[in-house]
């Protein structure tokens, strides 16, 4: 199993809110297509940011956001260029191209993700 697929599987196992999307993706496509799945994860992180502000499940969404961004930060710091490309292109790049306001999300990012985001602009 590649490191980028391992990352996606880790995100699904660690973040309950992503688990169903992961299972549906695998069932629909017969496997893990990391770039498409990472774009789904990026959308989930934006949802997590919004839902972490208030509501009965705000703490669970805040934890999902923190856990997800922490995993991406750690993975980006690793040695695998395919993982770096996955995070750069299909997480940060997807959000940036979609016109998302990333200012608030950036507050929750580590230094590696912030640096890559700055390079995209």
For the segment 3-38, what is each residue's pLDDT rounded down to a tens digit? 999 999 999 999 999 999 999 999 999 999 999 999
The pLDDT of residue 16 is 96
Q: Average model confidence (pLDDT) for the chain?
A: 95
Q: Count other C-beta atoms under 10 Å from residue 44's C-beta.
A: 19
What is the reported pTM? Answer: 0.94
**Domain segments of the chain: what residues?**
3-120
Separation of alpha carbons 91 and 82, rounded Å: 13
Separation of alpha carbons 17 and 14, rounded Å: 9
The pLDDT of residue 83 is 98
């Amino acid at each position: 199993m590649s490191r980028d697929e391992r990352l996606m599987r880790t995100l699904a196992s660690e973040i309950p809110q992503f688990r169903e999307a992961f299972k549906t993706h695998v069932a629909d496509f017969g496997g893990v297509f990391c770039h498409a799945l990472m774009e789904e994860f990026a959308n989930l992180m934006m949802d997590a940011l919004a839902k972490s502000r208030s509501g009965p499940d705000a703490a669970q969404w805040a934890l999902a956001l923190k856990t997800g961004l922490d995993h991406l930060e750690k993975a980006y710091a690793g040695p695998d260029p395919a993982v770096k490309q996955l995070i750069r292109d299909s997480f940060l790049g997807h959000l940036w191209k979609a016109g998302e306001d990333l200012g608030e999300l950036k507050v929750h990012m580590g230094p590696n993700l912030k640096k890559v985001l700055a390079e995209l602009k």
